[in-house]
Chain A
Amino acid sequence: DGGITQSPKYLFRKEGQNVTLSCEQNLNHDAMYWYRQDPGQGLRLIYYSQIVNDFQKGDIAEGYSVSREKKESFPLTVTSAQKNPTAFYLCASTMAGNSGNTIYFGEGSWLTVV
C-alpha cells in the first residue's frame, strides 16, 4: 500500500545535538512538506520541496535543514541552533502544481529535548 512513513515516532535529544527525522513516501508525489506543531497550536510550515534537489523555506525555517536528493525522501534535521525544538513534527506529501490533490500525512514524530 502507498503511503508516507515517518520515523522515529518518539525521539529524545540532548541539548546541543543535531537530530534527523526521516520522511519517506512511495506515492510518487512531487511535493513534500515539514510542519511543526506545538501544544494547542496549529501546524506551522518549516520547509517544503516541490521537486528533487530543490526546497524552499517556510515560516519557521531557522534552526532546521532539509535535503531532497531523492523524490521519495525528505529528511529534516533539527540542529542545535533551534532554540526550542521540543514539538510534534509532521511530514506531508501531495502531487505538485496548482491542483486539488489529496494531502497525505505521516504519523508524526514527537521530539523531546532533555
Chain B
Amino acid sequence: DAKTTQPTSMDCAEGRAANLPCNHSTISGNEYVYWYRQIHSQGPQYIIHGLKNNETNEMASLIITEDRKSSTLILPHATLRDTAVYYCIAETGANSKLTFGKGITLSVRP
C-alpha cells in the first residue's frame, strides 16, 4: 500500500470548514483513499473513501486531485465533537491491511 503523509496537527474554529490534507504521491491506480478518525479512547470511525472522483456523504467531502497524488478531507461545519485524530490511508481494498500512520490531530476550538 502507498505511504501517506499528513501534517501533525491543525486547528479550526467551530462552525468553520476544516480542510485536512493528505499526500499520497506513490499511490497506484487501484488504491483507494480512505479516511478514518479516532476520537480519544474509542475505535476508529469510518468517514469516507474514494478512488478518482470526489465523494460526499453526510459526514464529509473528499476531494482527490486529478493526478491522485493528494487529497483533502473537508468537514464543512466543524463542531467540538469533530476533535480527533484523522487518518488518511491508501489501500486497494483487496489487501487485508489498513496501515495506520500517525494521522493528523484536528482540534476544533470554540
Q: Are A and B physically bound partners?
A: no
- Partner-B contacts on A (CB < 8 A): none
